[in-house]
Amino acid sequence: MSDRKTHWEKVYSNKSALEVSWFQQEPRLSLRLIKNSRLEPAAAIIDVGGGASTLVDHLCEAGYTDIAVLDISGQALAQSRLRLAEQTCHVDWYEADVTSFQPPRQFSLWHDRAVFHFLTEKADRQKYVEVLCRTLKPGGHVVIMTFAMDGPEKCSGLDIVQYNAEKMNAELGKGFVLLESGHETHLTPAGNQQKFAYFRYTRQVQ
């Protein structure tokens, strides 16, 4: 088991999704950015690092019918699967490290709230982008949220990398066009403020 997986399994073994600092009862910004992508209800959406997030619940309620959740933590995924057990919405669940994920198919939208900023090694970020390119359809959309330049320097005891649009553009490369970016202040369950940056891209059709 990788150190990264060991860390996140421990986090979700010791805490419920309601207790972690990144918890959102209603992920309004994510939902708005996904809506702005103007997808058909049947379009395939993958939520990266969304193991215990409530985004999948809200996507189901909004009428999206092809949803997948990817997370490194089986414990996190188990919390969501239990929560959604009585829902009629179909969800594919993938337990894997995003840097080594082997997508079984392609998706129209890739959503990542607070995974990318944990990749402090350049090699891991390159692997992430390679997986993104294998997973996302040409013309598809990417929504990524990270800590902003004036945001936290650590999270869950781990170092992170802060981003603005210039830095994110450099990471993703020329195959992606930035459509929308901005900032959000997230209030943690403990009442602390965290500054996030958000970016919405489309993947160019070659």
Residue 20: predicted pLDDT: 65
What's the token pair of residue 131? 């997986």
Count of the separate structural domains present in the chain: 1
Q: 119 is in which domain, residue-wise?
A: 3-203
- CA separation for the pair 177, 24 (Å, rounded): 28
Q: Each residue of 142-176: pLDDT tens digit? A: 999 999 999 999 988 899 999 999 999 999 999 99
Residue 47: predicted pLDDT: 97
Residue 18: predicted pLDDT: 60
182: domain CATH number is 3.40.50.150
Residue 1: predicted pLDDT: 56
Sole residue written with tokens 């830095």:
167
Residue 17: predicted pLDDT: 60
Residues of the chain with pLDDT under 50: none
